[in-house]
Homo-oligomer: A and B are copies of this chain.
Amino acid sequence: MGQNAFDQKKNAILEEINSTDLDLSPKGTIDELCLPIMKLINSHRDMVTTSSCSGRLSVFVEGNKVHNKTVKVGGKGDGGKWLFVTHNQDEVLGWLNNLENKNTYFQPILTPNSTPGSDGSTRLILYKYEPFILHVKCRDLESASALYNVAMSCGFRESGIGSNFIVAIRINIKLDVPIGYVDETTDAYNLLVPLTYIELLDQLTFVKFEDNAKKIQYLYNKIENEIINHPIQNVATTQKKEVETKEDRRIRKRKEGLERQRRALEEKLLKQDTANIV
């Protein structure tokens, strides 16, 4: 049977997902929480997942932001680095205490006078919670719209269809908080907030991990009920997509011919048997 561009791409992506555990994120593997919903979506003949993150807490030190005279807030810049990243809710509370070399990293300064310069070039330490995100390449507008609509109905209100019918499934339950800055003279990491404030952020993040997991499960159920187990829509999509090539038709006709011959032969043999019995 002929294979079109989408099917080829889908097979290549699935091979990659199955053959390697590496991706481009700092973690380097596909998040466990994503696997069931990825598997579900990939079971649909018109969809294939292309990238995913199950949700994560990250603490990031901005790089050198003055570059070609432009200042970029929140960018990775030169020399930016992650202090801490986790996709695991259980690693959220107390991450700061568990941090290796904590004492060399942080010199908490809690008085109101301790603030970085206001010229915009200060390298900030950012505390970020980023929720689940999933990209799914779909065969056509019909399948992309179906997935988009289900995602929106589950509260993933920042979803959208992009180029080549790639659906981005996104939700807005972020945190993005500067918690410290780099003292450029000593390279020390100084806190801008009380330690108890970071504990509060951790509590909020802990709850967000929970909300996020619930949302993924809700999305899983809706995709299963409204797209995967929706025979009418699936059949309609399938029938419409199957454009039979000449070669396919030749093979089908030959199979049908052989099937007819086989049945005729069976009937003949059956009649003989019946005749013998009678």
A111 partner residues in chain B, CB cutoff 8 A: 194
Q: Is A162 part of the binding interface, using a Cβ–Cβ cutoff of 8 Å?
A: yes
Contact with B along A22-35 (1 / 0, CB 8 A): 00000000000000
Q: Is A203 part of the binding interface, using a Cβ–Cβ cutoff of 8 Å?
A: yes
Q: Is A87 part of the binding interface, using a Cβ–Cβ cutoff of 8 Å?
A: no
A195 partner residues in chain B, CB cutoff 8 A: 112
Most buried by B among A71, A196, A199: A196
Q: What's the nearest-Cβ distance from chain B to residue A110, in Å? A: 7
Specify the main secondary structure of chain A where it touches its partner: mixed
| Cα-based distance from A201 to B193 in the complex (angstroms) | 12
A116 partner residues in chain B, CB cutoff 8 A: 200
Q: Is A134 part of the binding interface, using a Cβ–Cβ cutoff of 8 Å?
A: no
Contact with B along A146-179 (1 / 0, CB 8 A): 0011001000001111110000101001111110
Contact with B along A92-121 (1 / 0, CB 8 A): 000000000000000000111111101010
The stretch that binds B, out of A204-212, A217-225, A232-240, A242-250, is A204-212
Q: Is A73 part of the binding interface, using a Cβ–Cβ cutoff of 8 Å?
A: yes
Partner of A110, one of B73, B112, B173, B207: B112
| Cα-based distance from A159 to B159 in the complex (angstroms) | 8
A82 partner residues in chain B, CB cutoff 8 A: none
Are B196 and A193 interface neighbours, CB within 8 A?
no
List residues of chain A with CB under 8 Å of any chain B CB: 71, 73-74, 110-116, 118, 120, 141, 145, 148-149, 152, 158-163, 168, 170, 173-178, 192-197, 199-201, 203-204, 207-208, 211
